[in-house]
A and B are shown apart, each in its own frame.
Chain A
Amino acid sequence: MNQIGSRFRPALGGLASWLVLAVLALLYATGSSSRDQLVTVMLINAVIVVGIQIYTGNTGIVSFGHVSLAGIAAYLSALLATPSAVKMSIIPHAPFGLAHVEMPPVLGILLAVVITTAIAAVLGLAINRVSGLTASIVTLAMLFVVNAVLTNWKDLTGGAEAFYGIPVVTTRWWVLAALLAAVLAARYFWASRVGLRARAGRDDELAAASMGVRVVRARYFSWVVSAVFAALGGALLGHLLGAIQPGTFYLSLNFLTLAMLVLGGMNSITGALLGTVVVTVGSELARWLGDGPRLLGVDLPDLPGLSLLFQGAVILIVMLLKPEGIMGDRELDHLWRRRGRPVSEPAEAPALPGAEPAEAQSAVAPGATVPSAAQPGRPLLAVSSVSMHFAGLRAVDGVSLEVHPGQIVGLIGPNGAGKTTLLNVISGVYSPTGGKVTLGEEEISSLSATRIAWRGVARTFQNIHLFSGLSVRENIEVGAATAAAHRPEVHRAADELLELSGLGEVAERKASTLPYGLQRQVEMARAVALGPQVLLLDEPAAGMNEAESEALIGAIRAIRDREGCAVLLIDHDLHFVLNLCERIYVLDAGRIIAAGTPDEIQKEACVIEAYLGTKAGGASGQVQVEAVV
C-alpha cells in the first residue's frame, strides 16, 4: 500500500460517506420549514452520534454520558450568547456575572465546546480508570448527575423550566461543516496510533498491556476527542431550537442516539451516519402514527410512546439478529476496495514463519551478533528466588534461573508446575510475592506489564490472545508502535515485519478469522514487532504435528538470529524442547528440580518420566498434542 494513498484514505473515505448524507439531506430539505428543521436536527444528531462512536468504537465501552456532555455545552453556549435582557428574567442571580455576558454566538459555541471538553477531561480521569461494563454504569451515573445539576442549579440554568431566548443561528451549512469535521476526526483518530492502541485495549486488555499499550491512557484520549464533538453537537442544537431544558439532553436523546449508533454498527463511522438516517426516518414515522392520524378513513388512536417503542425495538432486534450492526466494522470506502482485490484464502496449514527467512537469514544480516549456546558472563534476564503465592497456594516457590543474551532456554514440567505463572511474573502480569527479576542491570519485578514491554520483553500466550477485531497488519503495528516510541533503534515498519514473518498474504484479514495455526504465527510476529531483547513463548508448539514443530524450531532460531534476542519458552513437547533449547530448566510444584543442557536433562530421564509420565523421544510429540489442545 503506498504511503500517500494510506495517508489520505481516511479523508477520502470520510468525505465520501459525508457527501452521500449531505446530498440526501439537501435533496429532502427543500420544502417546508418543518422538513428543514427535521433534517438539521438529524444532522446535529449525526454529529453527536459520530462523537459517541469515537469513544465507543475505539474502546468498546458503551457510553450513556455523551448526551450529558452535549447538554453541558448547550447550556454553556446559551449562558454565554443569550442577550442579557433575556437572562435577567430567567436567571437574574446567575453566578460569575454571567447574566451580563453577551457574546457573539459563534464565540459562545466555540467557548462552550472548549469548556465542556475541559470538564470531560476531568470527569474522564475517573471514568476511564474502570473498564468494560463498569465504565458503562459509571457513564450512566454521570448522565443522572449532570441532569440533576442542570435541574437543581436554578441560579445558573433556570432549573427544569425552559431556558429560552437563545439566539437561533445554527444553519444547515454550519451543521454540515461540523459533521464533516466530526467524520474526518473520527476517521483519522481510528487510524491514528492512539486509536490503534485504544482498539487493541478494547479487544484484549491483557495482551495490550503486554504489548506496551497504556490502555487507560488510550481510552482517556478517545474520551476527550469524542467529547469535542458531543459538545459541538449539543451547542449547535441549543442554537437551533432557541429554547432548551435539562430534559432535552436526558433519557430520550440517549435512547435515540444509542439506537442510531447500534443500528449502524458501533465500529463504523459510516454506520453511525447510516444509523442516524434510518432511526430518524423510523422515529418520525412512529411519531406520525402515534399522533393518531386519519388513515384510510379510520382515526387511529393516540399512542404517545410509539417512537420510543421503535427505538427500543431497534436496539433489541439488532442485538438479537446482528449485534455488530448493519456496517459491522466496514466503512463506505471499503466496499469498492474489496471489489478491487481478490481475496485469497490461505491454506489451512501454511508454511511456518522462518522456513524461508531462516535460509535467507545469513544473507540478510551477516553482521548480527549471534552468541551461541550457553555462555559465561552477565545474564540478560535473571530470576532470583522468585515466589508467587496465591492465597496459600505456592504456584512458584523460590525459583532462580538465568537467560543469557542470544540463548534459547526451555522451561518444562508437569501441568500445574508453575511455568506459566513464572512467565506471568517475568512479563509483569503478576508482581512476585518474593524475590526479584532483573533485565540487564535493572530490576523489573516491580514494573507493570506495560513498562516491561517497553524495555523489550515480548511474550505470547498459552491460549492465544490476539486483538481479534484488528487486522493482522494492525496487530503487528501495535507492537511496532511500542518499539517506535520506546526503543526507536529497533523499530521496523509493519510491511517489513509482515514480510519477515511470511504473513503478507493475510495482512488485511481480521485476526479472528484466521485458522488456529496462523493465529499462533501472528501472535509470534506481534511479539517480534516489539524488537525484543527477550522473547517469552508460552507453548508455541501446542497443537502442532511433528513436521510443524520441526519447522517451528527453524523459525524460532531464525528469529533469535535475526533479532539477536534471548528466548525463554515453555512447552510440553519434549522432543521439540530438547532439539531447540540450549539450556533447560525442569520445574515441579513451583521449584526447579533440574537444570542443564539437553544432554544432561535427557540423562536425568527418571525426572522426566516421573513428572511428565511419557518417554522422552519421538513419540511424545503426538501424545502431548492431545494433552495440550
Chain B
Amino acid sequence: MENVAQQILNGLTLGATYALMALGLAIVFSIIGLVNFAHGELITISAYTMLAMRYLGLPWVVWALAGVLASVLGALVMERLAFRPVRHASPVTMMLTSFGVSVLVAAAFEIGISPRPRAIPQPGWITSSFSVAGLQLRAEHLLTFGVTAVALLGLLLLLRRSLIGAAMRAAAEDFDAVRLMGIKANAVIAYAFAISGLLAGLASVIIMSRRGVATPHMGLTLGLNAFVANVIGGMGNLWGAVAGGFILGFGEVALRAWLPASLSGLTQGFLFLMVAVFLLIWPHGLFGQKTAVRV
C-alpha cells in the first residue's frame, strides 16, 4: 500500500514535468498552429545557461532564475527570427522550420560547448527527504509540485482574468476575429511564446535538478514526451495537454514498477506502443475535435 502511494507520488512528479512542457507546446499550437519541434531546445538553452551560472560561481537560485529567463528569451528570439516569417505558411512548413531551428540550436551547442555531456550539480538540499505518514517525501517532489501548481494556477488566472489572456483564448478560436477587435497579432503571439518559454524554463530547472547533466541533443528526446502528451490530449487543447502529460507520467512510473529489470530499457517503447493502440481507437485524442474545418 505504501509502495503504491509512493509510486503515485512518483507518477505525479514525472507527470507534472511532462505537463509543464506539453502545456507550453499546446499554447503555441492553439494560437498559430505550429508544432514546435524546437520546444525541447528551450530546455537545452535553459540548462546551458544554468551551466554558465555555475561557472560564474553563483548560487543555485540564480542559476534557476537565469535558466528560466534564458528560456523565455530563447522562445521570443525563435519567434521573431524563424517563426514570424513563416506564420502564414502551411503547417508542414512551420513544423519543418521549427525542426531546422531545433537542429541548429543543438549543433550550436555541440560546436560552441562540446558534444560531451556537462555536469550541472544538483543543489545539496534537493535530495533531502522527510517522511510524512510513511511516505518518503523529497525536496525534489515539493519543488516539482510547487512550481507546477503555481504555473498552472498563474496561467489559469492569466487566461481568465486578463485582457491578453482573453485575447489568447479568443485567438485560439479565431485569430482573424481577434485582430478585427484591434488586438495586435504580434503581441498575442509573442505572449504565447513567452509563456511557452517560461513553462519550458521551469520544466528545465526541475529536470536539471533531477538529472544533473546537459547534452546538446537532449532537447528532442525531452520534447518528444511533450508532443506525445499533446497527441493523447488532442492537439491544441490546453488542459488535454496537461492531462496527457500526467497520463504519460503515471504510465511510465507504472511500467517501470511492473516491467522486469531486463526490459526496463524498453519502458518508453511499451508506453508509446500503448499510445499507438489508444490512437487506433481515438485518433483525435481525448479532447481533440474531429477535423474542425468549415464547409
Contacts and interface: CB of A to CB of B under 8 A. Distances in A.
B104 A62 contact: no
Contacts of A465: 295
Nearest to A151: B265
Contact of A462 (B102, B221, B283, B295): B295
A316 B93 CA distance: 10
B277 interface: yes
Contact of A304 (B110, B231, B266, B293): B110
A140 B222 CA distance: 12
Contacts, number: 145
A142 to B, nearest CB: 8
A255 interface: yes
Contacts of B147: none
A420 interface: yes
Nearest to A465: B295
A141 B85 contact: no
Interface string B196-224: 00000000000000000000110011001
Interface residues of B, number: 52
Interface stretch (A131-139, A228-236, A619-627): A131-139
Interface in A159-182: none
A206 B291 contact: yes
Nearest to A427: B295
A40 B249 CA distance: 44
Nearest to B223: A140
B272 A145 contact: yes
A60 B90 CA distance: 11
Interface string A217-229: 0000000000000
B103 A60 contact: no
Interface string A332-356: 0000000000000000000000000
Nearest to B110: A305
A309 B112 CA distance: 11
Contacts of B269: 144-145, 148-149, 152
B276 A138 contact: yes
A140 B225 CA distance: 11
B224 A144 contact: yes
Given A144-B221, A309-B104, A463 B294 contact: yes
Contacts of B91: 132-133
Contact of B86 (A138, A142, A304, A320): A320
A312 B110 CA distance: 13
Nearest to A128: B283
B221 to A, nearest CB: 7
Contact of A133 (B95, B103, B221, B273): B95
Given A206-B291, A306-B111, A429-B295, A136 B95 contact: yes
A206 B100 contact: no
B82 A134 contact: no
B97 interface: yes
Interface in A288-313: 303-306, 308-309, 311-313
17 contacts: A62-B96, A126-B277, A129-B280, A130-B283, A133-B35, A137-B227, A141-B276, A149-B266, A251-B220, A258-B99, A305-B108, A311-B107, A315-B99, A315-B103, A316-B100, A319-B96, A323-B90
Given A126-B277, A323-B90, 7 more contacts: A129-B280, A130-B279, A137-B35, A141-B227, A144-B221, A305-B108, A312-B107
